[in-house]
Structures are given as structure tokens and as C-alpha cells.
Homo-oligomer: A and B are copies of this chain.
Amino acid sequence: MALKYAKRMDNIRASEIRELLKLTQKPGIISFGGGFPAPELFPVDEMIEISKYVIENHGSKALQYGPTEGYEPLRTAIAKRMEKMQAHVEGKDILVTSGSQQGLDFTAKLFINPGDTIILEKPSYLGAINAFKAYEPNFVDIELEDDGMNMDELEEALRTTENVKFIYIIPDFQNPSGKTWSLEKRKKLVELGNKYDVAIVEDNPYGELRFEGELLPSIKHFDTEGRVIYLGTFSKILCPGFRLGWIAASPEVLNKYVLMKQGADLQSSTISQIEVATYLEKYNIEDHIEKIKETYKRRRDLMINVMKEEFPKEIKYTIPEGGLFTWVTLPEYMNSRDLAVKALEKNVAYVPGGSFYANGGHENDMRLNYSAMEDDKIVEGMKRLAEVIKAEMK
């Protein structure tokens, strides 16, 4: 038997993160890989109440098919919550998706013919790069500075590249780099989008998890022409197990996403949507987010402190103002994939940075997650990692 697959399958590889997650199931591993939120913060008691309440009160309706666009009260609640990011949308502008990962897949499916170009940050989110690859794009990756893309380089790319369909960015505490776009560059990005008539895809899973500094307006806030597509998710502010996220877009664009959702899986889980809507109605998610921020800030500090004290001075890292990740740049003579094997021998895991470069070529970065490990493990794991790195220094 020799089944013939589609050409796109040549581009699809296993996500290094998901593969790594399998390893990190090993007992005793201290994992800075993955991007898991802290499970001890999930509102388990509230969810016991809610899951009982929803099925008792909604009965068979909670178990039946529902509209493709999503559960109406959830769409309205999402739109209202987006005010926090200074994005002004209504329930009708929201499509509920199966996590924001589905928004990434749909976006490439919506825009990309083989050979079209996606502009994205360098580095960018591995899961987005992998989802996009299935639609056979070219990637133009733009240097990510401490306050966002190098805007001259971005404009040059827009000016000189044909068939650029969208610019993909994560504005707040980016995955993997932990970096945040400045107010000025946010404005400028939308101006460039308007000037060159390309869509802007704002992936914003972490924006609300800011521990310090001021909450900045989303890119969507600056959108004057309906070209910014906002991807959101409950995975990091509530829990990922429901697989619920959303797309906010202008009516014309949203309508296309809805058609795509019909073909892809009809709709997201009816019961999960009602449960999350009920949580938002009955509990104060802002209080819950405060608790998450407090814990993540403490863990970030623990991680950064070990790096300050134990890492050789040549090694650079981000001090993120929020989110789940820091990003470490090793000397160029080190290879972070090789180092990962040595770290695993000491029961410490992280994700090598190479996979976050859409066009490859960088092998001396590491992404470190601080949200998923308990405080003492962070300290212990980072000390071990420091030892592994020190042993490789020239």
C-alpha cells in the first residue's frame, strides 16, 4: 500500500513542544517546557458548582447542537471583557473557537494560497508557525526588538514583497520571547497595515496577565478599517481544558471564519460554552486573574533571581512584564538542542529556541516557562540548568 498524501503534509512536523510534553510526564522532571498554566490556581470548587448548575438548569439544551457562531451569552460576555484591552467590539463580532490555536489554523486557511507570504516576528510562536505551514506559505520574519518589530525592516518587507496576506504578532509578553510592543509601534503597525492593505492578526493570550507597568491598548484598539483580527483564549486566564477561545473580527471577515468553522467542526462544545458563560456571570474573573498574576510574578522573580545569581554574565535573558515565559540567549557557540539533552539528564526540560524561527537558523536560544512549576522546583531546576550551562562555557 502506498497512499498518496497532499503536498502540504511535507511541511507538517510534530511540534517539539508537544513531543517534549510526553517526556515531561516522567515523574521527577522539572519542566520549563510547555506553556501550561498553573493547575493549582484553576477554580476547581467553582467549577464543581457550575457543572452541576449548568446541567440542572439547562438540561438537554446543554447537550444538544448549538449555533456555529457560539453561545450567544458567551459571545456577549467576551465582547464586553475585551473593553479591558480597549478593543471595542460586540457579541456579533465574536466567533467562539476551540482554543486560539483553531483561530491560527483558520486564519492561514482563510488567507493563504501556496506561496503567499506571512510576515511574523523573529522569533514567533511555534504552534502558529506549524499551523500556518500546512497552507504552504513563505515566511518573512522581522527582527523582534525589545519594544516590537523593527519597523523599518517591516515596512521594507511590505514594500518589496508580493502577496503578503497578513502580519502575525503577539503584542504582549510574546511567546516565546516575553517581549511587549510599545504604544508607538502598535499605532505604527496599524498605519502600515492600512498603507499596504494587509490584514493584521493579533494573537493575545497573555495580555491580561500583566504584573507590572501599565496595561497597553490592544492592536485592535487602533483598528480603523476592520483589518485587525483578534485571537483570544480562556486557556491562560481560566483554564485550557475546555478548549475555548475566540476570534473577533469585522463582519465581512467574521462571516468567512464562521463558514470555515461549519466545515471544520460545526461548533465548539455547547456545554463548555454555557459553563464558561456561567462562570463569568456568577464569579469575578478579575479577582481570579489577580491571583494568577500574583503567583506568576513571584515565579518569574524566582527564575530571574537564579539567572542573575548563577548564570554566566555573557548570557542574556528577557525580564517579562507579564505572561508565562522568559527567553534566554546563549553564546553563539552553544547549541540549545544539544544542551536540552544534557539538561534532561539532570531531569530539567525546556524548549530549544530554534523551532520558534519560521525560517530556522538560530540554535542558541531557550524558552523557559515559569508558570507551571511550584516555587521550590523553579529554584532547584534553574540551579541545575545553570550548572549545565556553566559546564559548556568556553
| B-binding residues in A (CB < 8 A) | 1-9, 12-15, 18, 21-22, 34, 36-37, 39-40, 42, 44, 47-48, 51-52, 54-56, 59-68, 97-99, 101-102, 104-105, 109-113, 116, 127, 130-131, 133-135, 163, 165, 194, 197-199, 225-227, 235, 239-243, 253, 256, 259-260, 262-272
14 A-B contacts, Cβ less than 8 Å apart? A3-B253, A5-B111, A5-B256, A8-B109, A39-B60, A39-B61, A39-B64, A52-B52, A63-B241, A65-B240, A66-B241, A102-B265, A127-B263, A127-B266
Asked if residues B109 and A18 are in contact (CB atoms below 8 Å), the reply is no
Query: Which residues in B have their C-beta under 8 angstroms from that of A36?
Result: 64-65
Supposing A48-B55, A240-B65 touch, asked if A110 and B262 sit within 8 A by C-beta, the answer is no
A223 to chain B minimum Cβ distance, whole angstroms, is 10
Q: Give the oligomeric copy count.
A: 2
New A-B contacts (19) at CB < 8 Å, excluding given A36-B65, A63-B240: A3-B198, A6-B113, A9-B110, A15-B263, A18-B262, A21-B65, A21-B67, A40-B60, A42-B64, A60-B239, A63-B242, A65-B241, A97-B265, A101-B266, A105-B265, A130-B263, A131-B263, A134-B263, A269-B272
Query: Which residues in B have their C-beta under 8 angstroms from that of A133?
Result: 263
A195 to B130, CA, bound (A): 35
One of B48, B63, B243, B262 near A47 (C-beta < 8 A): B63
Closest to A8 in B: B109
One of B1, B134, B266 near A260 (C-beta < 8 A): B134
A282 to chain B minimum Cβ distance, whole angstroms, is 15
A251 to chain B minimum Cβ distance, whole angstroms, is 12
Query: Which residues in B have their C-beta under 8 angstroms from that of A260?
Result: 12, 134
Asked if residues B264 and A102 are in contact (CB atoms below 8 Å), the reply is yes
Asked if residues B55 and A109 are in contact (CB atoms below 8 Å), the reply is no
One of B47, B97, B110 near A55 (C-beta < 8 A): B47
A1 to B3, CA, bound (A): 43
Closest to A97 in B: B265
Asked if residues A63 and B9 are in contact (CB atoms below 8 Å), the reply is no
